[in-house]
A and B are shown apart, each in its own frame.
Chain A
Amino acid sequence: AQTVTQSQPEMSVQEAETVTLSCTYDTSESDYYLFWYKQPPSRQMILVIRQEAYKQQNATENRFSVNFQKAAKSFSLKISDSQLGDAAMYFCAYRAIQGAQKLVFGQGTRLTINP
Chain B
Amino acid sequence: DVKVTQSSRYLVKRTGEKVFLECVQDMDHENMFWYRQDPGLGLRLIYFSYDVKMKEKGDIPEGYSVSREKKERFSLILESASTNQTSMYLCASRDRGTTTEAFFGQGTRLTVV
Contact = CB atoms under 8 A, between A and B. Distances in A.
Contact of B40 (A9, A42, A103): A9
B43 interface: yes
Contacts of B61: none
B96 to A, nearest CB: 9
A104 B42 CA distance: 9
29 contacts: A4-B42, A9-B40, A35-B101, A43-B88, A43-B107, A44-B104, A44-B106, A45-B90, A45-B92, A45-B104, A47-B101, A47-B102, A91-B43, A97-B98, A100-B48, A100-B56, A101-B31, A102-B33, A102-B58, A103-B43, A103-B45, A103-B102, A105-B35, A105-B42, A105-B43, A107-B40, A107-B41, A107-B42, A108-B42
Interface in B72-113: 88, 90, 92, 94, 98, 101-102, 104, 106-107
